[in-house]
Chain A
């Protein structure tokens, strides 16, 4: 049964940003610009489906 399972999407492996990009990435993180998943919603929730 598990043979029927297909991977549709996977995340990228985490790579530390280059030294030039690090400060910008850090600033974005601290400002909350890249933290959609930390909006106060339950994780793994999807868009409305009904």
Chain B
């Protein structure tokens, strides 16, 4: 309704000529709440940066530096701490009550320190590190991807359960670095859309790149234990877990790209509906802090948000 009154309203429908640029993050957000995706695309952000985001950025940086040979094994922990500090300076950081900045730093240093041995055991030679791919998936519709790591196996990869060889020397392998309180489950590893998009991007580009089609993909998961003191015994649980290797089928890929086209169509139609869910575990639950945009949705207030220049409250709510 507002669209007729306010042409700057960010949830207006747009025509078919409008170029929609998606990313795996946007598609995953669309599965949770289209309204939240609308704010994300409009670059409306909470003023506070989540500590987990700073942590992940600093850890990705030392990992890239190590793989490229720019950071020595012995410097990983120290340089993680330095980057974690640099990325935190001057920012309002939001964090869980149970995990202080100091605790998070200790966990990051441990994971950074352990990464070289973990990576060495994988037996992968880097082909692409933090590589940007862009795919055209329909008229004026694109997906942009940044893949953490594509490598080539320098030794056979063996399935730990069956003992079968699941990748030969020279095969192409895709990895995404993840950190979380628990290792991903088998179902998530098998069907994660993020890896499905990565798989197809590498498959489509493999001839151009002169590499084999992807053989395996997976998450390299660094565990962040729940602990509240820097000298907690739980620090021993901050470890890199064995990769749960998976593949993607044509059916997986077709489903993932159909979904992406569906998200693009909803964006064009201006379908930025909220997802209340059926109970209190919904994306709209403001008690648990699950929704980053509760203030905007609930009160129409822009306090606590970074709003791109030119937008007024009337454009956003």
Contacts and interface: CB of A to CB of B under 8 A. Distances in A.
B70 interface: yes
B14 to A, nearest CB: 9
A40 to B, nearest CB: 5
Contact of B205 (A10, A40, A43): A10
Contact of A42 (B25, B83, B204, B258): B25
A30 B20 contact: no
Contact of B68 (A1, A29, A42, A44): A29
B21 A7 contact: no
Interface residues of A, number: 32
Contacts of B69: 16, 22, 26
A2 B25 contact: no
Contact of B21 (A10, A30, A49): A49
Main secondary structure of the interface of B (DSSP, over half): mixed
A13 interface: yes
Contact of B130 (A30, A37, A49): A37
A19 to B, nearest CB: 11
A22 B68 CA distance: 10
Interface in B12-67: 19-21, 23-26, 40-43, 49, 53-54, 57, 60-61, 64-65
Nearest to B253: A2
B135 A42 contact: no
Interface stretch (B94-102, B138-146, B162-170, B227-235): B138-146
A8 interface: yes
A44 B133 contact: no
B208 A14 contact: no
B134 to A, nearest CB: 4
A7 B135 contact: yes
Interface in B104-150: 126-138, 142, 144-146
Interface of B: 10, 19-21, 23-26, 40-43, 49, 53-54, 57, 60-61, 64-65, 68-71, 79, 83, 86-87, 91, 126-138, 142, 144-146, 200-201, 204-205, 208-211, 250, 253-254, 257-258, 308
Given A2-B200, A13-B211, 9 more contacts: A5-B137, A6-B136, A11-B133, A13-B128, A30-B65, A30-B70, A37-B130, A40-B49, A40-B57
